[in-house]
Amino acid sequence: MSIRPLVILPDSQLRLVSSPVGEITADVRRLVDDMFETMYDAPGIGLAAIQVGVPLRVVTIDVSRDEDGRAPQVFINPEILKVSDEVSTYEEGCLSIPEYFEEVERPSRVTVRYRDLSGETKEVDADGILATCLQHEIDHLNGILFIDHISKLKRDRVVRKFTKQARDRAKGVA
């Protein structure tokens, strides 16, 4: 297992639409292992493969926030089947937009169909933080970021800030 470098805003890879996983190969398993290691190291509660530069429909989540009682969950080719009319607001963040947090409103409950690592098709009815996290990560697979759900004013401001940071890093200023 290894920690892979995170893709950071405004990297255009974050706007790619990821491809479905076919057969679950050793490479896919290695990707999942590395995604968990990268996610726990960050630390974060969810990660999409594109955030480590792999445009495949793979999501890792652990909303337990408990180092002793980890509850890793893998979602391969996840698809939202149903969303509730009721909405919830959570303060979201993203490992690709470090140290930026903003409130986002999303459906409170979702039904998601996915494949697990053994290739079996499953469905989950999620609510609470898991519902929000699944929607956030599935957005990533479609090239959508949580800042797309906030006001244009706030989004423009954060994109400008990260664009400047990337420029400064490239110049070796920061």
Pick between residue 76 and residue 94 the one whose CB is nearest to Ni ion.
94
Selected range binding Ni ion among 17-25, 59-67, 87-95, 103-111, rule: CB under 5 A: 87-95
Q: SS3 of 34, please?
A: helix
56 contributes a contact to Ni ion by CB under 5 A: no
- Counting every residue, how long is the chain? 174
Nearest to 140 by CA among 47, 29, 72: 47
Q: What are phi and psi of 57, to 5 degrees?
A: -85, 75
Selected range binding Ni ion among 54-62, 94-102, 126-134, 159-167, rule: CB under 5 A: 94-102
137 is catalytic: yes
Question: CA 49, 138, 16: angle at the middle one, nearest 5?
Answer: 60
Pick between residue 103 and residue 123 the one whose CB is nearest to Ni ion.
103
50 contributes a contact to Ni ion by CB under 5 A: no
Residue 110 amino acid letter = V
Q: DSSP states of 128-143 as a string?
A: HHHHHHHHHHHHHHTT
94 contributes a contact to Ni ion by CB under 5 A: yes
Pick between residue 24 and residue 166 the one whose CB is nearest to Ni ion.
166
> Which residues bind to Ni ion, rule: CB under 5 A?
94
Residues recognised as catalytic: 137
